[in-house]
Amino acid sequence: MRIIKKLISTIVILIILSFLVFALMYLAPGDPAEKRLTSQGVVVTKEVLEAERQRLGLLRPFFVRYGEWLFGVFRGDFGNSFKDDLPVAPKLLQGLKNTVILGGFSMLFALITALPLSVLSAFKKGKTADYIIGILSFTGNSMPNFLISVLLMYGLCIKLKLFPVIATGSFTGLLLPMISLGIPIAGRFIRQFRSEILMQLSEEYVTGLKNRGVSSFYIVCNVLYNSMGHLLVIAGLQLGSLMGGSVVIETIFRWPGIGKLVMDSITARDYPVIMGFVVIMGIIYVVINQLTDAAMKGLDPRIEAFHE
């Protein structure tokens, strides 16, 4: 019953979100028909413009357009692009695949970087290593990813010519977008992971392990195991933001992800693509949150008992 309630509430939230975005685009300045004709080099007259608006369905009432679009989404049809008349769904899926690749590698980079540094910082609390890692964490978290990307591009692409300026489909082309997106996340992870590990280190079981002369490696393994539920929540919540926050990086490096696709669609007033993006990102957020919740309950059965 609880799963059904969550599913219904999720669908209602997505419908409300889509309606608000549809209304904002309806009220936004700019004419998709005029934008399309201008980009094609067509001489825009009043008659031509009215015919194009009629063809795109822009002259129908707002609620009729929204209702047709919504029922199409329930059938798996996101409509056709205003820009090139191609189906929206394949374009979104291709862009989503590339964004998942970039986001997955960025998250992996952030975790591999943050986990050992946060452990070292917590176990060396108040010492030189802790202060150095704290400065690095603060710096990485404070720098916006577009600034990191510009610095990396200037130093490694233009000056040293080690990487391509425009990201290619190879791993080499993926490295700089991955690092640019991963550094701020790693900076946040270090601080959050350190706090959780310090909390575990203050527990009585850690004191008992130390008094029995257990090796530091075994203590670290136990602390990480007992912290895993909270660390998973932190990473899971950040993953949803990562998927939606890669727009700037994809645009700078010309990475063909869903973020770049939607930015190009905003410029072209391609409303079907924008609406499809909103729905897909909403579903991704919900799925990630549900998977994170399920994983937490699997790692710590007390959470399930508490909800019951």
Binned at pLDDT 50, 70 and 90, residue 186 comes out as very high
- Residue of higher predicted confidence among 226 and 117: 117
Whether 22 maps to a domain, the answer reads yes
The Cα–Cα gap between 116 and 140 comes to 16
C-alpha closest to that of 293 among 227, 223, 236, 225: 236
Is 282 within the bounds of a domain?
no
Residue 150: CATH number of its domain:
1.10.3720.10
The SS3 call for residue 60 is: coil
Whether 289 is in a domain gets the answer no
123 and 222 assigned to the same domain: yes
Does residue 165 share a domain with residue 49?
no
Are 32 and 44 in contact by the 8 Å Cβ rule? The answer is no
Cβ atoms within 10 Å, residue 16: 10
Determine if residue 86 is left, alpha or beta; phi over 0 gives left, psi from -120 to 50 gives alpha, anything else beta.
beta
Range of the domain at 13: 2-54
Confidence of residue 306 (pLDDT cuts 50, 70, 90): very low
* Cβ neighbours for 3, distance < 8 A, ≥ 6 positions apart: none
Model-level pTM? 0.81
Same domain as 132, residue 36: no
Q: What is the pLDDT of residues 37-92, one digit of tens each?
A: 887 778 788 888 889 888 888 888 989 999 998 888 888 888 888 888 889 999 99
Q: What's the angle, vertex CA 159, arms to CA 155 and CA 162, rounded to 5?
A: 80
The reply to whether 107 and 254 lie within a common domain is: yes
Is residue 145 domain-shared with residue 248, that is, in the same domain? yes
